[in-house]
Amino acid sequence: MKPRLVFVHGIGGPRDPAAELDAWLRALAEGARAAGHARRVLDLIQGWAADARFAYYGNLFDTAQGQGSASEGEDTDDLVGVLLREAVEVRLAEPATDDEVPLLRRAHAQLMPEGDPQGAGSVARHVLTASNTLLSLPGLRTFGGWASAGLMVGQLRQVTRYLRRGEKDEEGLSLDTRIRRRVEETLGPSGPTIVVAHSLGTVVSLEALHAHQGCVPLLVTLGSPMGMSTAVRPRMRPQPLQVPGSVERWLNFWDRDDFIVGRPRLEKVVGPNSLSVLPFTRRVDSDGAWVHPAAKYLAQPAVAGPVVEAIEAATRP
């Protein structure tokens, strides 16, 4: 029986799950080739090596945000502001170039205005203004990133909408619950499952895996915001954060040029499970100015190599 390989996406616009699965597998195959696993490349692309699945929940964000009130929308933008401010502060501590510093300082000031009374639309206005400033950073606009401040904020709202635990449907299920159910259904009930999660998907996967009964030989998290100590980590569940009991190994990868990624090593802030498993964080360096996409991470040999090796180990009798 082939092990399952489950990909969990992050923020972004509408996706074709079949096309995304193919793109993620091809990126993984590229990284596998670079890691010395050339003989498994075709197996990965054709799906012979593993039962590859793409956990898609993006369309759940298409529903109106608003059975909530105007104040709830304001709360969502406020949390986007917290997330951006923390990302800016992290980048200011270690800017890629000196040219970035004035832009980052300007955006930080715009996210912390003085003397501007809070009111309807005030928070959203400051977040959009700061986002416009940040889009002047290389990569966020011109190299396949966000085309506008509105698009940038709209996609970052997906993180905050998940973490607000609201937006209940007619059955009383909150948005975050419905998203986790999609992932849980893709994981399946049992059997070895390698999980590769990206961006917001790392938060969703970690929470979903606490309810998963099957074996997870390897959890890989890419470009995770879990290191954000104000905007994300304290809003995750359950607290305190702990490695899910089903996870036998956890590798966490980040790129220093990935703007919406917390820097702390997750092994310092996530407790071990009963198997004494902790996350192991490793930095990777991708080419290009826009490094957040999952494909950039998957094409890294340091990422793809362990995934292929986990598939091979789970295939052995």
- The percentage of the chain sitting over the pLDDT mark of 90, rounded to a whole number, equals 62
Same domain, yes or no: 198 and 268: yes
Q: Are the CB atoms for 192 and 313 separated by under 8 Å?
A: no
Same domain, yes or no: 196 and 84: no
- Range with the largest mean pLDDT of 95-104, 117-126, 164-173: 164-173
Same domain, yes or no: 121 and 82: yes
Structure tokens at 197: 């999660």
Same domain, yes or no: 185 and 44: yes
Domain-located, residue 239: yes
Amino acid (one-letter) located at 223: G
Q: Which domain holds residue 93?
A: 70-164
Same domain, yes or no: 296 and 182: yes
Alpha-carbon distance of 282 to 256, in angstroms, equals 11
Q: Which residues of 148-180 are buried (b: 16+ CB within 10 A; e: fewer)?
A: ebebbbebbbbbbbbbbebbeeeeeebbbebbb
Same domain, yes or no: 187 and 285: yes
Tell me which residue of 25, 128, 146 sits closest to 84, measured CA to CA: 128
Same domain, yes or no: 47 and 96: no
Same domain, yes or no: 46 and 81: no
Where among 164, 189, 215 does a domain terminate?
164
Alpha-carbon distance of 269 to 282, in angstroms, equals 15
For residue 221, the surrounding DSSP H or E stretch is strand 219-222
Q: What is the pLDDT of residue 148?
A: 83
Same domain, yes or no: 190 and 83: no
Domain-located, residue 65: no
Q: Are the CB atoms for 5 and 311 separated by under 8 Å?
A: yes
Q: Are the CB atoms for 268 and 233 separated by under 8 Å?
A: no
Region 67-91: mean pLDDT is 75
* Predicted TM-score (pTM) of this structure: 0.92
In which band, very low, low, confident or very high, does the pLDDT at 67 lie, cut at 50, 70 and 90? very low
Where among 113, 141, 164 does a domain terminate?
164
Same domain, yes or no: 158 and 196: no
Q: Are the CB atoms for 130 and 107 separated by under 8 Å?
A: yes
Where among 116, 144, 164 does a domain terminate?
164
Same domain, yes or no: 100 and 151: yes
Up-side HSE of residue 289: CA atoms within 13 Å toward CB? 13
- Looking at residue 29, which CATH number applies to its domain? 3.40.50.1820
> What domain count does the chain have?
2
Average pLDDT for the chain: 87
What pLDDT digit, counting tens, does each position of 112-127 carry? 776 555 554 688 889 9
Alpha-carbon distance of 194 to 317, in angstroms, equals 17
Q: Are the CB atoms for 261 and 225 separated by under 8 Å?
A: yes
